[in-house]
Structure 1
Amino acid sequence: MHQTNPVLDFLLTRRSRPAAALTAPAPDAAALEVLMTAAARVPDHGALVPWRFLVIGPAARARLSNLIRERGPVLGIDPAKVEKSAMSWQNAPMIVGVVSAPVPSEKAPELEQVLSAGAVCAALVNAALASGWGAAWITGWAAFDRTFLEDGLGLQPGEQIAGFVHIGTCETAPAERPRPDLAAITQHLDV
């Protein structure tokens, strides 16, 4: 039986905001620290902390936008897609990268550690939304280009981007979208 619970009510109605709809202001350093503290409270078998945050400031976003424009043609990405990606970096009020950085462990398989980094992305988006900010979890083609990751973001071999969380102000709530039919995706095992 569902009793009134503000956290559950939030989770049942939460909706990411389109990154293109986000504007300034973005959270200040103190507000961002609270959001990242909440995001870091995810399941993490063995307390390995197999992820880290990259707070990507305005100058870095401009530099990375230019790198996207350089890398896109090299990778054969459609020019319109390259420009859309570059503009999303250039216009973002704030981007926090979540780096998946698995560590050797006998207790926690690498997949479990990668999933923990994904949980950080979801938790960061939810913390931002719950605090009244607009937020979206984005990857995009640049998130899978090793040159962009290593030269642009300073990632090490073995590290990857779990997501780029765009955070800012969003005055309009997006329309609800279709949700999965639980009956179609749920199997009960009783024996």
Structure 2
Amino acid sequence: MDALELLLNRHSNPRLVEPAPAGEQLDTIFKAGLRAPDHAALTPWEFIVFEGEQRHALGNILAEAALAKGEAPDSIEKARNAPLRAPMIITVVAKVKPHDKVPRLEQEISAGCALMAMQMAALALGFNGIWRTGWFAFDRSVHQAMDLTDEDQIVGFLYLGTPQVEVRKLPERDTAPFVRYFGQ
């Protein structure tokens, strides 16, 4: 797939089934993530993979967080089952490092760029995915269960797999409402 075609037609697909990327394909996806903009070569990322039975472990982490937050029983069960919607979930974490010239926000954006690059690589390889965040990404108990530090920040959960259905083509957007030329 041509790079511009990929970028201009990017879309998420929440209906994912086996197979998930594996082996060389998965390694290619990780390599794409490692090419994200990275000021001062801090490599401020970590990719935590949940596949197979480990998706149940992630579901339990999310359900425990929902229970602790006082969510309703149906929300707790929804959290428990969320990771089962795809054969693989990659949690992308900003591993923020103290640096005089690279602020926290820039490192978090870098991790977000890594996540998008991985999603684009998955699409180019014939897979699809959806980037989910939600309050779980900011919940300290979720962070603790994944052995993250207080400086770490989950930037998203990348659900990956084979598209179960073809998604409709998104309408093209007019760029004018989003672009402003300074001084004009």
TM-score by length of 2: 0.90
CA distance in 1 between counterparts of 2:137 and 2:162 reads: 24
CA distance in 2 between counterparts of 1:111 and 1:190 reads: 28
CA distance in 2 between counterparts of 1:126 and 1:53 reads: 16
CA distance in 1 between counterparts of 2:104 and 2:21 reads: 32
Which region of structure 1 is more displaced relative to structure 2, 89-98 or 118-127? 89-98
Q: Which residue of 2 aligns with 1:109?
A: 103
Q: Which has the higher strand share?
A: 2
The change in CA–CA distance for 1:114 and 1:95 in structure 2 (over 3 A counts) is: same
Q: How does 1:87-98 map to 2 (within 5 A)?
A: 87-98=81-92
Q: Which residue of 2 aligns with 1:40?
A: 34
Secondary structure of residue in 1 paired with 2:41: coil
- Give the residue type in structure 2 aligned to 1:13: N
**Alignment equivalent of 1:158, drawn from 143, 146, 151:** 151
CA distance in 1 between counterparts of 2:171 and 2:70 reads: 33
Structure 2 gaps, min length 5? none
CA distance in 2 between counterparts of 1:173 and 1:167 reads: 15
**1:177, CA displacement in angstroms?**
4.0
**1:144, CA displacement in angstroms?**
1.7
CA distance in 2 between counterparts of 1:57 and 1:67 reads: 14
Q: Which residue of 2 aligns with 1:132?
A: 126
CA distance in 1 between counterparts of 2:115 and 2:38 reads: 14
The change in CA–CA distance for 1:52 and 1:70 in structure 2 (over 3 A counts) is: closer
Aligned-pair Cα RMSD in Å: 1.9
Secondary structure of residue in 1 paired with 2:39: coil
Structure 1 gaps, min length 5? none
The change in CA–CA distance for 1:130 and 1:160 in structure 2 (over 3 A counts) is: same
**1:34, CA displacement in angstroms?**
0.9
Secondary structure of residue in 2 paired with 1:46: helix
The change in CA–CA distance for 1:103 and 1:130 in structure 2 (over 3 A counts) is: same
**Identity between Structure 1 and Structure 2 (%):** 38
**Alignment equivalent of 2:60, drawn from 66, 70, 87:** 66
Secondary structure of residue in 2 paired with 1:99: strand
**1:102, CA displacement in angstroms?**
1.2
